[in-house]
Structure 1
């Protein structure tokens, strides 16, 4: 509760934008993560 943890409540209020629900996809970044595969190669992790 607020009365039990005033410092935590203050910290959460300062950083409230970090805890908001996302409103869409993130912005495009300069570098995108990619895994380059060789043509015709099988998947690395498959279920038996």
Structure 2
């Protein structure tokens, strides 16, 4: 029996793609959080300069 049969290859690829999707989602979440932080920082600085 071969180790590289269709079932094993599919399981491996599914596991790999799931890990890659998780990493991509984490990257998107970090970018979104950074946008929120920058937006809040800019709002705080603009309100301080207006006073």
TM-score (norm 1): 0.25
* Greater relative contact order, per chain length (Cα 8 Å cut-off, separation 6+): 1
Between Structure 1 and Structure 2, which shows a larger proportion of helix residues? Answer: 2
